[in-house]
Amino acid sequence: MNKPTNLYDLNYDELTNLLHNLGEPSFRARQVWNWLYRHLAGSVDEMTNLPQSLREKLAGQTTLGTAVIASQQFSSDDQTKKLLFRLPDGQYIETVLMRYEKRRTLCISTQAGCAMGCVFCATGQMGFFRNLSVGEIVAQVIHFARELAQTGEHVTNIVMMGMGEPLHNYEATLTAVDRLTDNEGFNLGARKITISTVGLVPAMRRYADEQRQTPLAVSLHAATDEERDKLIPINRKWPIAELMAACHYYIEKTGRRLTFEWALINGENDTIEQAQKLGQLVQGMLCHVNLIPLNPTQGYGGAPSSRERVEAFQAELARYGVSSTVRVRRGIDIQAGCGQLRDRTVDSG
């Protein structure tokens, strides 16, 4: 028996071809596309302007997403919700919804596990299993969009900062971005989606060449190779000089501001000396630094910086003319913060 086709894996032309093979006219593709991405249908049965015969065919041969919810958790302030999805092959991914005053932000995954091995990241600690398909990435967004629509809300922002390195799964990640920003479909503004990378230099340069409007965030976390090697193994392949050259190339090609992510680890990379080295490294660049007090993980003994150390670090950056903000931490009590996502079944089994 053939495996059902995940409709979220299909682009518009592929959907048109599928319907053609079912003996349907081409205009049916637009109807189905609208149900998938505008009306956020939860099943083929909801596609009420399709003939019953076509709905039966689609129900027998296709599916709207392939993941099922294995568990869900809510933060104590009820502003953050985390879902653990089980995929058909037994892999698991986590996805997070964060509510802010005016924003509804999703943190979505692009891989099951991660091959980058960053020592303070729970996903990196679990290792790499596989890339997600376009449909598996998109379906995370559609699930929460459907849920938010029930209360008159909608997804306002997406950060590709969940499980995995997005640029390691380049084709599927960027195709998913194209799908989500399609003005004939889900129609989220490209600048509302941020892609995070730990520093895959060739992929960063390709991303710059493609002149994409989606913002890029670089997980830097250290300003010298000696320190970054300890935290981020990929730095040994593309050290800071190469990474920064790619960052300058990105800014030059796109004219867009780059964000640097910096997880502040108490007594490690939160010193005045480290702030000075970072200030010297990025001074004069079109950039912003996002400071994130470390979120604890089971596999790493480092602790988050105190408020006093964070403020001192930020003040030192300002002396170099470097703008920065301290990220509001959300969902730490349910391990939904930056660097905390992983396959929770590993912990229990």
260-271 residue pLDDT tens? 999 999 888 999
Distance (Å, whole) CA 135 – CA 179: 10
pLDDT score, position 74: 86
pLDDT at 314 over 50: yes
| Per-residue model confidence (pLDDT) at position 329 | 54
CA dihedral (40, 46, 50, 56) positive or negative: positive
- Residues 231-243: what's their mean pLDDT? 96
Q: What is the pLDDT of residues 206-226, one digit of tens each?
A: 999 999 999 999 999 999 999
Q: Is the pLDDT of residue 333 over 50?
A: no
pLDDT at 194: 96
For residue 287, indicate whether it is catalytic.
no
Q: What is the pTM of this model?
A: 0.91
Question: Which helix (H) or strand (E) element contains residue 74?
Answer: strand 68-74
Active-site annotation holder among 94, 165, 261, 316: 94
The answer on pLDDT for 332 being more than 80 is no
Please pick, among 107, 114, 247, 338, the residue that the annotation labels catalytic: 338
Contact 153, 105 (CB under 8 A): no
List the chain domain ranges. Answer: 5-63
Lowest pLDDT segment from 25-34, 92-101, 299-308: 299-308
Question: What confidence category does residue 176 fall into, taking pLDDT thresholds of 50, 70 and 90?
Answer: very high
Greatest mean pLDDT among 63-77, 172-186, 328-342: 172-186
Residue 123 is which amino acid? T
Token pair for 128: 């790499």
DSSP 8-state secondary structure symbol assigned to residue 80: E
**Do the beta carbons of residue 225 and residue 239 sit within 8 Å?**
yes
Is pLDDT above 70 for 115?
yes
- Signed CA dihedral, 145, 194, 201, 301: sign only: negative
Q: Residue 154: its pLDDT value, please?
A: 96
What is the Cα–Cα distance from 19 to 204, expressed in whole angstroms? 37
Mean pLDDT of 267-281: 94
Average pLDDT, the chain: 90
Radius of gyration of the chain (CA): 21
Residues 6+ apart with CB under 8 A from 56: none
Architecture of the domain spanning 5-63: Orthogonal Bundle (1.10)
Give the per-residue pLDDT at 158.
97
* DSSP class per residue in 22-62: TT--THHHHHHHHHHHTS--SSGGG-TTS-HHHHHHHHHHE
Name which residue leads in pLDDT, 342 or 15.
15
Check residue 184 and give its pLDDT.
92
User: Is 94 one of the annotated active-site residues of the chain?
Assistant: yes
Between 276 and 80, residue with greater pLDDT: 276
